Amino acid sequence: MFISTVVSGLCMPLLILLLNNGQTRKLKELEADIDLRKREKHQTLERQDREESQYLEYEATFHACLVKILFSVQQLHVELSGTCIDEKCIEDGTKHFQQKLAEYQSVIADKQLMLSTKLTNAIYTFYSDVSRLLI
C-alpha cells in the first residue's frame, strides 16, 4: 500500500510532468524553427525586392541615356543641316556629339551587367547604327 501510494502520489505526477516538459520543449523548438524560416523567407523577399528595385532603376537610367543619345543625334542633325557649310562646323558638331555619346555610353556600361544579353546585343546594334551615321 505504501508503495502504491508513493508510485501513484509521487512518481506518476513526476512522470506526467516529465512527459509534458518534453512535449513543451519540442513545441518550442518547432516554433523557433518556424520563426527562423519566416525570417529567412522575409529576408529573401526583401533581397528580391531590392534587386527588382535596382533593376528598375538601371532600366530607367538606361532608357534615359538612350533618349539623350537620340536627342544628341537630333541636335547634330539640326546643327549640320542648318547654316553649317564648312568643315570646321562639321568637325565641331561631331566632336561635341562624340563627347556626349561617350558620356552616355559610360553610364550605360556601368549599368549594363544587370541587363539581359538580348538587350545588350540591341545596345551594340544601336551603337553600330550611330557610328555609321557619323561616318
- Cα of 60 vs its chain's centroid, Å: 12
Residue 14 has pLDDT above 80, yes or no: no
| 48, containing H or E segment | helix 12-81
Cell 547654316, residue? 83
**What pLDDT does 111 receive?**
75
Owning domain of residue 64: 2-134
Position 25: which residue type?
A: R
Q: How many domains does the chain have?
A: 1
**What pLDDT does 123 receive?**
86
- Provide the pLDDT confidence category of residue 77 given band limits of 50, 70 and 90: confident
The answer to whether the pTM exceeds 0.75 is no
Does 23 or 122 have the greater pLDDT score? 122
Kindly state the cell numbers that stand for 61: 537610367
| Neighbour tally for 110: CB within 10 Å | 13
